[in-house]
Amino acid sequence: MIDYTAIGRLIVEEVLNEPGICFYPASFKPPHKGHFKAAKDIASRNYITEVIVIISRKPKDGITPEQSLVIWNMYLNAEPNPKIKPRIAEADSPVEDIFGYLASHEDVSAVYVAGGDDEADDQGYLQDIQGRNPTNVKTISIHEKDGKVNSPYVRGILFAANQTIQASPGGLNGNVEQYIKVAQKEYNEFKGTIPEATYNKGGAPKIFKMLVQTIQAPPAPPPEEELAPEEQPAQAPATTPTTNEPQ
């Protein structure tokens, strides 16, 4: 059935929005098919001239920004899209990169920033960026989660595979075929988290081995001390600007 309401909304978007680049900042540890689908959705909008994917410089559970960039490039090699351009953040947070761009491009009339529609942190930084730049910044809420696939879910699969392989003869010193043979269950789950084109072109085994070798368990949460009400730390005011790193 044709969704005429959605079609009308898209037409209005195309008419009202000026052409401009879109920043898509996040941790991407690791990038998965939901991220790639979201980037393609942004790129499909005629008023978006480029999608600048900004990868956080901070490692996450053993996954590095360099690995994330390799994976993004593998996705794009398998399914090219000239509008999508991934890079590692120059600042400590991807959001700081965006503020730096805005400060040095005050004459740019339209800049777009995308974030996950189901991520509280993403919505927080979107509001912050737009609040500080109300005249030239527009935000785009995107759906990143693909079914149950999100980055913590993928890291969980990889860590389970790491533990299984480490407990096997030869451990992590084996080749990719041995990795898949020993951790077949985990590999079967993992291959469903990457874009279909990348899987069809043989990218899944390489990505799987690369990430399984370095994945680490997430750090244990710090113990919570029992504090009397008057000893509880003060909460920051709601108006305090945030540069929380998107997940």
Q: How confident is the model at residue 240 (pLDDT cuts 50, 70, 90)?
A: very low
- Residue 176: CA atoms inside 13 Å, Cβ hemisphere, count? 10
Q: How confident is the model at residue 235 (pLDDT cuts 50, 70, 90)?
A: very low
- Rg (C-alpha) for the chain, rounded Å, is 20
What pLDDT digit, counting tens, does each position of 62-118 carry?
Answer: 999 999 999 999 999 999 999 999 999 999 999 999 999 999 998 998 999 999 887
Are 28 and 152 a contacting pair, CB within 8 Å?
no
Q: What is the pLDDT of residue 229?
A: 42
Are 11 and 89 a contacting pair, CB within 8 Å?
no
The model's pTM is 0.83
Is pLDDT larger for residue 220 or for residue 101? 101
Q: What is the pLDDT of residue 131?
A: 82
Secondary structure (3-state) at 95:
helix
Q: CA-CA distance, 179 to 35, in Å (whole number)?
A: 25
Handedness of CA 68, 245, 21, 116 (dihedral sign): positive
